[in-house]
Homo-oligomer: A and B are copies of this chain.
Amino acid sequence: MANSPKTRRLPERRLPVPATASAELQKACAQPLDAAIEIIEREPQDLDDWRKTLALYDQASRLRLEKLRQRFPVQSRAETINGVTVYRLTPSRIAPENPARSLVHFHGGGFALAGGELGTGEGILAAYHGQIEVFSVDYRQCPDHPYPAPLEDALAVWQALAEEFAPQNLGLIGASAGGNLMLALVFKLRELGLPLPAALACCSPWADLLAQGDTINTLQYVDSAAISYTGLIAGMAKLYGGAGDWRDPLISPVYGDFTGFPPTLLISGARDLFLSDTVRVHRQLRRRGAWADLHVFEGLSHAEHLYLFDSPESEEIFGEIRRFFDQFLAQ
């Protein structure tokens, strides 16, 4: 595609730090990316290489999670639900409207990263800011467990929770691969005639494994977090989708029929490599008459509010998420 005659040449440019972003986000935008580009654009060569590479990324996540947990104290207990490990995240205070409500969280990480407790960061933030209990699902991941294993685990946990609680009191939340998973789960539930969650907060979903979104090109190297949809990310798509049909909505939800979807909040950033995935899902929802609300944050890269968890942008996003669930979850 890059060598197609129908391509526009973009000259070399310098990108200033956005004056319109918070101090925290400006700092992230000022980071040089050269070293990170080299790492992320390399696709691991074999299984051993994959394991080492993933471990390296997870090491960075571990340091981040420790800081996040210090800043946002939320109790975390591992439970096993229908054979799947789930972290039950309980904030010190549950809001008066939330004792009968819960969120089910699917973490991001390209279906390969942030397994175990490492995946709980977004769930902790949602529990803390929303004053609500969160079940963070530690679904099986690649390279050992490609599609459909993660979706099977998501389904297993949902079925158990939907029996224990009223589905109209349950919302789903997730980012990136977690956004993919929550959309695929709703397709699966609809197919099986099972009860749907009351509402979805879907942050920058990785909704198209075929990588057709325009911002994957327009925002390459502009995005500070996902940076470039090449080596690592393209490799994770191969791990997850394998020899399956990547246009199957259970693998690439953007190609699905969104009829009957629950109210959906969509969050992205104007520097997000997955902005196109996000707005394409938004359009699909609107075309099918679903309630859908899109928020795009100035200067923000892919799921960057989860890294910059102490930024005003992150606080504002979790404020929107809280208001959204309060509007659509039964009590």
Contact = CB atoms under 8 A, between A and B. Distances in A.
Interface in A250-294: 270-271, 275-276, 279-280, 282-283, 286-287, 293-294
A218 B219 contact: yes
A316 B10 contact: no
A315 B283 CA distance: 13
B316 A295 contact: no
A21 interface: yes
Nearest to A221: B10
B7 A16 contact: yes
A9 interface: yes
Contacts of A10: 10, 12-15, 221-222
Contacts of A4: 16-17
Nearest to A224: B8
A148 B276 CA distance: 38
Contacts of A9: 12-15
A67 interface: no
B13 A270 contact: no
A296 B298 contact: no
A1 B29 CA distance: 14
Of A1, A214, A286, A293, most B-chain CB atoms within 10 Å: A214
Interface string A58-81: 000000000000000000000000
A85 interface: no
Contacts of A271: 214, 218
A120 interface: no
Contact of A276 (B14, B280, B298): B298
A62 to B, nearest CB: 27
Interface in A280-331: 280, 282-283, 286-287, 293-299, 316, 320
Contacts of A217: 13, 15-16, 18
A47 interface: no
A323 B9 CA distance: 39
A96 interface: no
Nearest to A272: B270
A103 to B, nearest CB: 21
A299 B16 contact: no
A50 to B, nearest CB: 27
Contact of A33 (B8, B15, B276): B8
A192 interface: no
A2 B17 CA distance: 9
- Which of A21, A271, A299 is most buried by chain B, counting CB atoms within 10 A of its CB? A299
28 contacts: A1-B16, A2-B16, A3-B14, A6-B30, A7-B14, A7-B16, A8-B14, A8-B15, A9-B15, A10-B10, A10-B13, A10-B15, A12-B12, A13-B217, A18-B214, A19-B212, A20-B212, A20-B213, A20-B214, A21-B214, A214-B270, A218-B218, A276-B298, A279-B297, A279-B298, A283-B295, A293-B293, A294-B294
